[in-house]
């Protein structure tokens, strides 16, 4: 459940625009923002400590609006959404940015852009570290994994690839036996939103002929988003960090090779890897 608090008509003289005169002279901008929170706790306590202060939100947005000049209203609106989502408890933000004095040669009343963002769809202000788990157990698995890594390198930055590990397939009770899995982990950085990284993962699976006929069934390619910066999500489409990843040897061991000091639930990947490495049947370095 989410309720929405609206701030309408936040007005500022700012210097956003692609033209030199817009940067020099500035113009009027008007901002409407609705942020979604659960207000029931605050309603029961009647305490400002249990809500997201609209005064603090307004101050933060006004300061951001008048500081760093940007070219496009698209970028300004995205920055506003990210600023609102940074407040604890905010689940989503709708931003309506008005530019009523835009340089248009014909009579008009207003130019406005409306966006809605969540922690999974907002564009990060700076590159975000991401970790993805890759695996498969049918078909040309190594070929599919290499193609997936190549696809990630085309879109993501600073891509690093962990060792390839072989483990028995995880199957449901009384299901047919399956070939062993080959798995690895990739770390990278990106300005894509988390939902965009998930879409990229699904597109790579589709290219490899992935079919979702049965839970824990054989897979030509599986690409899971393990972590996206510090984002925590219980969304039905994307749970972050990936549930159970820290207890799966085929994730932990290759991940620890890339980020041994990373902590999951208070325990380093290096420590987890030492505890779980006995489940690994085979490890290959520099396979990609």
**Structure tokens given for 235:** 């969304």
Any catalytic annotation for residue 99?
A: yes
Handedness of CA 20, 26, 28, 32 (dihedral sign): positive
Helix (H, G, I), strand (E, B) or coil at 95: strand
Using alpha carbons, list the distances in angstroms from residue 186 to 129, 228, 266.
11, 12, 22
**Nearest alpha-carbon partner for 255 in 277, 276, 273:** 273
Spell out a b/e string for 131-163, using b for 16 or more CB atoms within 10 Å of the CB, else e: bbbbbbbbbebeebbeebbebbeeebeebebbb
Contacts of 273 (CB under 8 A, 6+ apart): 252, 253, 255, 256, 257, 260
**Nearest alpha-carbon partner for 271 in 253, 245, 244, 248:** 253
Question: Of the residues 16, 98, 99, 144, which is catalytic?
Answer: 99
d(CA 2, CA 85): 14
Is residue 257 a contact partner of residue 283, using CB atoms and an 8 Å limit? no
For the beta carbon of residue 110, count every other beta carbon within 10 angstroms: 10
Cite the active site residues: 99
């Amino acid at each position: 459940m989410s309720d929405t608090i609206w701030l309408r008509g936040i007005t500022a003289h700012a210097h956003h625009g692609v033209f030199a005169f817009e940067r020099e002279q500035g113009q009027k901008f008007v901002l409407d923002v609705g942020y979604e929170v659960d207000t029931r706790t605050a309603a029961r306590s009647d305490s400002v400590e249990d809500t997201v202060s609209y005064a603090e939100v307004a101050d933060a947005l006004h300061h951001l609006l008048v500081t760093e000049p940007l070219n496009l209203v698209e970028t300004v609106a995205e920055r506003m959404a990210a600023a609102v989502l940074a407040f604890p408890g905010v689940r989503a933000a709708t931003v309506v940015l008005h530019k009523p004095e835009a340089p248009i040669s014909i009579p008009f009343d207003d130019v406005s852009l409306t966006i809605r963002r969540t922690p999974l769809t907002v564009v990060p202000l700076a590159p975000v570290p991401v970790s993805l788990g890759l695996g498969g157990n049918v078909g040309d698995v190594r070929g599919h994994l290499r193609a997936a890594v190549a696809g990630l390198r085309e879109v993501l930055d600073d891509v690093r690839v962990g060792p390839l590990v072989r483990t028995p397939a995880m199957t449901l009770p009384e299901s047919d036996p399956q070939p062993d899995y080959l798995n690895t982990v990739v770390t990278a950085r990106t300005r894509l939103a988390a939902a965009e990284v998930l879409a990229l993962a699904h597109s790579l699976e589709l290219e490899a002929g992935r079919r979702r006929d049965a839970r824990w069934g054989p897979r030509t390619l599986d690409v899971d988003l393990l972590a996206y910066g510090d984002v925590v999500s219980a969304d039905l489409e994307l749970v972050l960090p990936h549930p159970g990843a820290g207890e799966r040897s085929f994730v932990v061991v290759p991940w620890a090779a890339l980020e041994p000091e990373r902590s999951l639930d208070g325990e380093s990947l290096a420590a987890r890897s030492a505890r779980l490495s006995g489940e690994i049947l085979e490890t290959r370095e520099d396979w990609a």
